Amino acid sequence: MIELNGVAKTFDGTIHALQDVTFSVPSGSVCAVLGHNGAGKTTTIKILSTLLRPTSGQAIVAGYDVVRQPAQVRANIGTTGQLAALDWQLTGRENLVLFGRLRGMRRKHAQLRADTLIDQFDMAHAADRRVGTYSVGMQRRIDIAAALVVPPKVLFLDEPTTGLDPRSRRDVWDLVSSLSAQGVTVLLTTQYLEEADVLSDSIVVINEGRVIASGTAEELKSRVRFSYCTVSPANPSDLCRIFDVVADLEGAQADREANTVSVLAPDGVATLGEVFRRVDQLGVELLDISLRKPSLDEAFLHLTGSVSA
């Protein structure tokens, strides 16, 4: 449904925003493009939504070439940017009707569709206020609704949850899941690993304009071959003491919220034994000690770190 083949974008002849980007997203699945600020995520979306012309390479969206058949691409996509792309002078309802008519609906039909979306997005209380008065979360909701007035085959979400509170973020996640269940192909960009992990069927990691890894979350985690040894004390106040005795081991870090101390375990069980011995000498009561696979967070840091190193 989405295919990129060797796509490159160079600005002003010297700034290589994207280089040889190749990946594909099957129909009806959710793909997360993951990367730091400036990695090339937005440039990728702009090329796929016909806003930028690739310097070289080919991109196909919904079966159409973005350079040669931009009109057909536009007829099949919905987009939302990092900020709400709405007319601030108009109410939420007026915005939805406007986007319906811009997609060729008759006024009556567009009004009915707006009513449906307002119900579906639980916006009845605010639909007739100007969008300029909305909270960020509400703007985002009406913004996504505006992209769905005519259900698109492919939906692009550029950092859909940036700046949202946890509840609104959860709402967007639920929405993306339900869209993909309805068969919409979704490509979203995010800086949040958790988001990519929860939402997507596949992940493409971009760093400095290049794809450095792609696959499912599990596959990415398994690319980081070593494990971590994690210790949780029964009493959270012992966390610091545990950290102190293992601080000299590689990758040692304490996570107060999760009540864990982690160290890299290059020698697997042997490392676990060493950690256990040291903690045992402290006489601290443990809740848990285990070996685990790296989190996606750790995998991401490892992947992007290995490129810049």
Partner 1 sequence: MTAVAALTERMVLGALRDDLPFAILAPAGNFVVFNFGLRNVIDTGHMSYPQYLLPVIIVQVMLLGALTTVDRAARDQGSDFGIRLRTLPIPTVAPLTARMLYCLFRGALALLAAIAVGYVFGFRMLGGVAYGSAFAILVLTLTLAVSLGADATGTRIAASGIAGAQMGNSGGASQLLLVPQLLLVMLSTGMAPADAFPDWLSPFVRYQPVSQVTETLRGLAAGHVDVSNLAASVAWCLGLLAVFGALAVRMQKRTQ
Residue 237 phi, psi (nearest 5): -70, -15
Report yes or no: 84 and 142 within 8 Å, Cβ to Cβ.
yes
Binds partner 1 by CB under 8 A, chosen from 5, 10, 65, 70: 70
In degrees rounded to 5, what are phi and psi of residue 151?
Answer: -55, 120
Identity of the residue, 61 or 246, whose beta carbon is nearer to partner 1 in the bound complex: 61
Query: According to the binding rule CB under 8 A, does residue 83 interact with partner 1?
Result: yes
- Would you count residue 79 as binding partner 1 (CB under 8 A)? yes
Q: Does 81 bind partner 1 (CB under 8 A)?
A: yes
* Binding residues for partner 1, total number by CB under 8 A: 33
Please identify, using beta-carbon distances, which residue of 72 and 259 lies nearer to partner 1.
Answer: 72
Which listed residue (13, 15, 37, 71) binds partner 1 by CB under 8 A? 71
Please say which residue, 79 or 271, places its beta carbon nearer to partner 1: 79
Q: Which stretch binds partner 1 (CB under 8 A): 82-90, 121-129, 164-172, 182-190?
A: 82-90
Instruction: Name the one range near partner 1 by CB under 8 A: 67-75, 169-177, 213-221, 247-255.
Output: 67-75
Answer yes or no whether residue 74 interacts with partner 1 by CB under 8 A. yes
Residues 37-56 that bind partner 1 (CB under 8 A): 49-53
The reply to whether 15 sits near partner 1 by the rule CB under 8 A is no
**Contact residue for partner 1 among 1, 30, 77, 242 (CB under 8 A):** 77
Q: Determine, following the binding rule CB under 8 A, whether residue 103 of this chain makes contact with partner 1.
A: yes
**Binding residue for partner 1, selected from 106, 170, 256, 292, defined by CB under 8 A:** 106
Quick check: 101 binds partner 1 (CB under 8 A)?
yes
* Among the listed residues 4, 30, 34, 84, the single contact to partner 1 using CB under 8 A: 84
User: Shortest distance, CB of residue 251 to partner 1, whole angstroms?
Assistant: 41
Taking the C-alpha atoms of residue 25 and residue 76, their distance in angstroms, rounded to an integer, is: 15
How near is the Cβ of 174 to partner 1 at its closest, in Å? 23
Give me the least distance between CB of 82 and partner 1, in Å please: 8
- List 3, 63, 69, 90, residue binding partner 1 (CB under 8 A): 90
What secondary structure does DSSP assign to the chain, as a single string? Answer: -EEEEEEEEEETTTEEEEEEEEEEE-TT-EEEEE--TTSSHHHHHHHHTTSS--SEEEEEETTEETTT-HHHHHHHEEEE-SS--S-TTSBHHHHHHHHHHHTT--HHHHHHHHHHHHHHTT-TTTTTSBGGGS-HHHHHHHHHHHHTSS--SEEEEESTTTT--HHHHHHHHHHHHHHHHTT-EEEEEES-HHHHHHH-SEEEEEETTEEEEEE-HHHHHHHS-SEEEEEEESSGGGHHHHHHHHTTSTT-EEETTTTEEEEEETTTHHHHHHHHHHHHHHTPPEEEEEEEPPPHHHHHHHHHHHHH-
Measured distance CA(78)–CA(158) in Å, rounded: 11
**Can residue 115 be called a binding residue for partner 1 (CB under 8 A)?**
no
Cβ 295 to partner 1 shortest distance, Å: 33
Structure tokens at 70: 């931009």
Site membership for partner 1, residue 292 (CB under 8 A)? no
Q: Which is it for strands 15-25 and 2-11: parallel, antiparallel or unpaired?
A: antiparallel
Where does this chain bind partner 1 (CB under 8 A)? 49-53, 70-71, 74-75, 77, 79-90, 94, 98-99, 101-106, 130, 146
